[in-house]
Amino acid sequence: MADEPSWDDIFRPAGGDPTRPPQPATPDATASAHPGVRASDPFAVAAAEANSQARQSAPAASGDGLTRRQLREQEEQSPRRGGRPSDELREKPKKKRRAWIAVLVVLVLLVASGGGAALYVWTNYEQQVREALGWQLPNDYPGTGNGSEKIVTVASGDLGDDIARKLLEAEVTMSFDAVWDYLLQREADGDPAVFFPGAFRLQGEMSAASAVAALTDPANQVTNQVLITEGMSYPLALEQISAATQIPLEELQAAAADYTSFGIPAEAPNLEGWMFPATYTFDPGITAQDAIQATVTRMFEVLDANGVAPEDRERILTMAGLVQREAGSVPDMAKIARVFYNRLDQGMRFESDATVAYGTGNTDTVWTTPEERADPSNPYNTYVHPGMPYGPIGLPGEDAIKAAIAPADGPWLFFVPINLQSGETVFSETADQHQAAAEQLYAWCRESDENASYCA
């Protein structure tokens, strides 16, 4: 096993980006020097020329700013590479004169052709014209919403980057940067935004300022309605229930400690994995026992519907919880389950950072330190303990449960997500193939603050 890369390599790769294969040109009888642009369309040619020159003039992103502790650790573990950039990578002289000629062509055509042509150019080539003229593209909506309801759940411990990402994913705000920059400005002004856990009712297409205001206004909280999401830990689910129902968290925690009272087998370590992720609406005055029982009963129903015998429930939920935390997308779940089953069959340790992190109490991350991965006192440490994890490490949804029941067919022993936003994942049979794929994630995490927020 000494030559085998640790599971940490899956989440701590080093290296560069994958190359994109060349795209075939679109046939066009009137093709210009710019693929996909008709030479007979002077507006398109001018805008494409301006856009091309603007791109050549843009400074290359350094990618050196690591905003997360884990990325710094990755860098320390990666091989150092010296030397100067090759001639091919050095920046070529900028052809500013040609860029300005293209800009002037666009402006002359706009003025000379009248309103109709101007509208046509602006409608079809707004981005190119903006870039050519150095006008910044908008990244924020101007208003307070379009009337379409959006539910956003704030989890305990969510930071500014978590909030910015959730608002973007819920289609509330236009961009991650708009919210992130607004939160940074408020903090600089001595008025930091304070978020509390719970589900909040917002609207689509809100400005960053209005979205943050709505998310911090208790009047927008959806009471008695709880959204428990896939992969959430059960302690966090209890906090969500408390925030929505006003049941004291201490009462929920006390009820959860007696987990066998809900019909959960005694061999289970705790309540983890047994609360089914869904949206629940509780009646006013519901007790802690009844609220938790509703989520557990729903999990029993899902397991029964998928043919899981009572004696197999803990085993299936343990694998499903791991798959849920590790998977970037539903289509990959069955393949990830197969990776772990293959490693189990071959006597290989799972070496999952997600299990180690869970055992340390860091249920909102999959990043770990070398000391944590070497700690045998952590029963969830699959780097040192062989076989299946000690228990579930989160609340799996039905898709993850189905993957644990019926994994895909395949020889894979490794997998690595190379884009944590899209969930794109590469599966490999050998350690060398795995390392080559893993290097792409390392570079992706460095590309921007938004990307880095997923790598925490």
Q: Are residues 325 and 443 in the same domain?
A: yes
Q: 395, 319 in Cβ contact below 8 A?
A: no
Please say if the pLDDT value at position 95 is more than 90: no
Residue 441, token pair as written in the block: 């994630």
**Is the pLDDT score of 139 beyond 70?**
yes
Cα separation, 450 vs 407, in Å, equals 33
pLDDT, residue 129, reads 60
Q: How confident is the model at residue 20 (pLDDT cuts 50, 70, 90)?
A: very low
The least confident of 65-79, 226-240, 283-297, 334-348 is: 65-79
Does a structural domain hold residue 4?
no
Of 182-191, 238-247, 358-367, 410-419, minimum mean pLDDT range: 358-367
pLDDT at 266: 95
In this structure, the answer to whether residues 170 and 117 fall within a common structural domain is no
CA dist., res. 189 & res. 448, Å (int): 24
> Considering only 23-27, 81-85, 111-115, 296-300, which range has the smallest mean pLDDT?
81-85
Distance CA 114, CA 419 (A): 45
63-71 average pLDDT score: 42
Is 35 contained in some domain? yes
451 or 101: whose pLDDT is higher? 451
Question: Is there a single domain that holds both residue 327 and residue 359?
Answer: yes
Of 174, 194, 220, which closes a domain? 220
Compute the distance between CA of residue 125 and CA of residue 137 in angstroms, rounded to an integer.
12
Residues present in the chain in total: 456
Q: Please state the rounded mean pLDDT for residues 173-197.
A: 93
In this predicted structure, the answer to whether residue 155 has a pLDDT above a threshold of 70 is yes
Which pLDDT does position 73 carry in this prediction? Answer: 46
The helix/strand/coil state of 419 is strand
- Domain check: are 329 and 379 in the same one? yes
> Where a domain ends, among 180, 203, 220?
220
Q: How far apart are CA 122 and CA 140, in angstroms?
A: 19
| Whether residues 99 and 159 fall in one domain | no
| The pLDDT of residue 313 | 98
Which helix (H) or strand (E) is 200 found in, with range? Answer: strand 198-203
Q: For 34-63, how does the pLDDT look when each residue is reduced to its tens digit (9 = 90+)?
A: 444 444 454 444 445 545 544 444 444 444
Interval 320-348: pLDDT, tens: 999 999 998 899 999 999 999 999 999 99
Give the list of residues 6+ apart from residue 33 with CB closer than 8 angstroms, or none. none
Domain end position, chosen among 220, 245, 262: 220
Claim to verify: residue 158 and residue 35 sit in the same structural domain: no
- Please report the pLDDT score of residue 450 as a whole number: 84
Element (H, E) at 69: helix 69-77
Examine residue 153 and state whether it is found in any structural domain, yes or no.
yes
Query: Which pLDDT band, with edges at 50, 70 and 90, does 90 fall under?
Result: very low
- Whether 78 maps to a domain, the answer reads no
Q: What's the pLDDT band for 367 if we cut at 50, 70, 90?
A: confident
Task: Identify the weakest region by mean pLDDT among 131-140, 239-248, 364-373.
Answer: 131-140
What was the pLDDT predicted at 117? 57
Residues 160, 132, single domain; the answer is no
Give the pLDDT of residue 420: 79
For 124, 167, 242, 421, the CA distances from 174, given in Å and listed in that order, are: 20, 9, 31, 16
- For the segment 131-160, the average pLDDT, to the nearest whole number, is 84
Split at pLDDT 50, 70, 90, the class of 301 is very high
The verdict on residue 72 lying in a domain is no
Across the range 381-396, mean pLDDT stands at: 97
The more confident residue out of 104 and 393 is 393
**Structural domain range at position 116:** 28-54+93-137
Question: pLDDT for 107-124, tens place per residue?
Answer: 555 555 555 555 565 556
The pLDDT of residue 12 is above 60: no
Do residue 358 and residue 334 come from a single domain?
Answer: yes
Q: What is the pLDDT of residue 49?
A: 52
133 and 182 together in one domain? no
Determine, yes or no, domain membership for 252: no
% the chain with pLDDT above 70:
70
pLDDT band at 77 (very low <50, low <70, confident <90, very high): very low
Same domain, 127 and 157: no
State whether 367 and 416 are in the same domain: yes
Is the pLDDT score of 311 beyond 90?
yes
pLDDT tier, 231 (very low <50, low <70, confident <90, very high otherwise)? very high
Q: Is residue 433 one of the residues assigned to a domain?
A: yes
Query: What DSSP character marks residue 172?
Result: S
pLDDT value of residue 52: 52
Q: Tell me, what's the pLDDT at 11?
A: 36
pLDDT at 106 over 80: no
Query: Which range is least confidently modeled, 60-69, 113-122, 211-220, 376-385?
Result: 60-69
Residue 427 parent element (H or E)? strand 424-428
* Residue whose entry in the numeric block shows the structure tokens 């062989």: 386
Q: What domain count does the chain have?
A: 3
| pLDDT of residue 101 exceeding 80 | no
Note whether 212 and 347 are same-domain residues.
Answer: no
Which carries the bigger pLDDT value, residue 448 or residue 37?
448
Domain assignment present for 283:
no
Q: What is the pLDDT of residues 163-173, one digit of tens each?
A: 999 999 999 99
Q: What's the whole-number average pLDDT of the chain?
A: 78
